[in-house]
Homo-oligomer: A and B are copies of this chain.
């Protein structure tokens, strides 16, 4: 056993420092940056998540030959400002971050709530989005997802974050999936210094308001997806109890240029469980020269 002080500096996402950038909307955004490449990939985080809740193995796999940027949206974790209670405002805040970073055209990877924000960015400022990955996502207005199932919000919405509840929602019930979940959590908590600030109860309630509003059934709103012209890769776990795979079907059916993958024996955290395969699928999608 070595003492922490004896270790070589961590590389990749584990070793990427917390940075701040001041945006025109008055928010100082916390972010991390790793990898290099000509087409930056910006990650948009899930409900209650901060910079530490991206599995370093996934970020490192995505960052092969590519710049990957994670950030806390307004009011979340180490960013200043107030967490808004609408996806639209979250998208406008994210656009302010992109502007502050001078990122004019990017690839987006939105995960869960972050995928709602990604859709909104693609609709509000289409020129900013080259291609987009929607992980564990759903269209605004789809029937049957209003507020999530009660056991799901109970598991991940309690005042104090509950690792067991997280595992029940993010991983399938098989031993293999639960073991993968424990391993992913271990990687997230392996970073002992320079961690991000925890997200607050204020962030939790505002984000859940936004999630509930997104899920108000409104069939007419599904038609918005026809306005997304960027190529999109839709992905989910086959057993996600939070955002059912049927909403991935719906996205892939309504977005004009979409492809889709459903990952086996996996739930909301399929992208952490299957990080190598998912990162390879994302790279194949982002680098596919046959997609215009």
Q: Say whether A17 faces chain B, with CB atoms less than 8 Å apart.
A: no
- The majority secondary structure among interface residues of chain A is helix
Q: Which residues of B contact A144 (CB under 8 A)?
A: 256
- Chain A 128-141, CB-CB to B under 8 Å as 1, else 0, gives 00000000000000
Contact partner, A223, options B219, B226, B254, B256, Cβ 8 Å: B219
Which of chain A's residues 107-165 have a Cβ closer than 8 Å to chain B? 142-144
Q: Say whether A253 faces chain B, with CB atoms less than 8 Å apart.
A: yes
How far in angstroms is the closest Cβ of chain B from A246?
Answer: 5
Q: Say whether A249 faces chain B, with CB atoms less than 8 Å apart.
A: yes
Q: Is the CB of A246 within 8 A of B250?
A: no
Q: Say whether A206 faces chain B, with CB atoms less than 8 Å apart.
A: no
Q: Say whether A106 faces chain B, with CB atoms less than 8 Å apart.
A: no
Q: State A223–B143 Cα separation when bound (angstroms).
A: 10
How far in angstroms is the closest Cβ of chain B from A263?
Answer: 15
Chain A interface residue count, CB cutoff 8 Å, equals 20
How far in angstroms is the closest Cβ of chain B from A262?
Answer: 9
- Chain A 89-120, CB-CB to B under 8 Å as 1, else 0, gives 00000000000000000000000000000000
Which of chain A's residues 230-260 have a Cβ closer than 8 Å to chain B? 246-254, 256, 258, 260
Q: Say whether A222 faces chain B, with CB atoms less than 8 Å apart.
A: yes
Q: Which residues of B contact A247 (CB under 8 A)?
A: 253
Q: Which residue of B lies closest to A244 (CB)?
A: B253
Q: Say whether A220 faces chain B, with CB atoms less than 8 Å apart.
A: yes
Q: State A249–B255 Cα separation when bound (angstroms).
A: 11
Residue ranges of A at the interface with B (Cβ–Cβ < 8 Å): 142-144, 219-220, 222-223, 226, 246-254, 256, 258, 260
